[in-house]
Amino acid sequence: MNIKFVVVGKLKEKYFKQGIAEYAKRLSRFCKFSIVEVPDEKAPESMSQAEMDQVMAAEGERILSKIKDREYVYALAILGKERSSEEFAKEIKDLTTYGHSDITFVIGGSLGLTPAVLKRANTQISFGRFTLPHQLMRLVLTEQVYRAFMINEGSPYHK
């Protein structure tokens, strides 16, 4: 099984890198885990809607170029469906049972994801209505994917 994150921007903070590295190491017994970073579009502080759309479109094209046809795609979106950890674990288990061995999670840049990326996604997932920095979201998502495998294994980690 392959789990891939396609994310906009580089991770600069050492403490996020360390946390993700720890969960990536733990995930290695369950799957091949990778993170693909696409460059974020340089943008001024205040932008018109047209400029924002242009930035999102450029980032969206970069994201889509990293997704293959066979991949099952989760787009992280505030308006996506919220799930409990148990529901998420069951979903991952069901996907692998029914032949989806390549699962990709997409985390957009600061402006979010374009309609084209959301359309390509098989489903949208939300971690609530909070706005979180995408660097932190990477760490949270990595932990939740690890938690899903632990739940499916019946491990006490989840308690």
Residue ranges for the known binding site for S-adenosyl-L-methionine are: 76, 108
Q: 3-class DSSP state for residue 156?
A: helix
Distance of alpha carbon 136 from alpha carbon 30, whole angstroms: 23
Residues in Cβ contact with 30 at an 8 Å cutoff, skipping those fewer than 6 apart: 1, 149
Give 49's Cβ-side CA count (13 Å radius).
0
- Sorted by sequence, the CB contacts under 8 Å of residue 154 that are 6+ apart come out as none
Binding-site annotation, residues:
76, 108
Spatial separation of the C-alpha atoms in residues 65 and 90, rounded to whole Å = 29
Instruction: Provide the 8-state DSSP code for 41.
Output: P
Return the SS3 of 70. coil
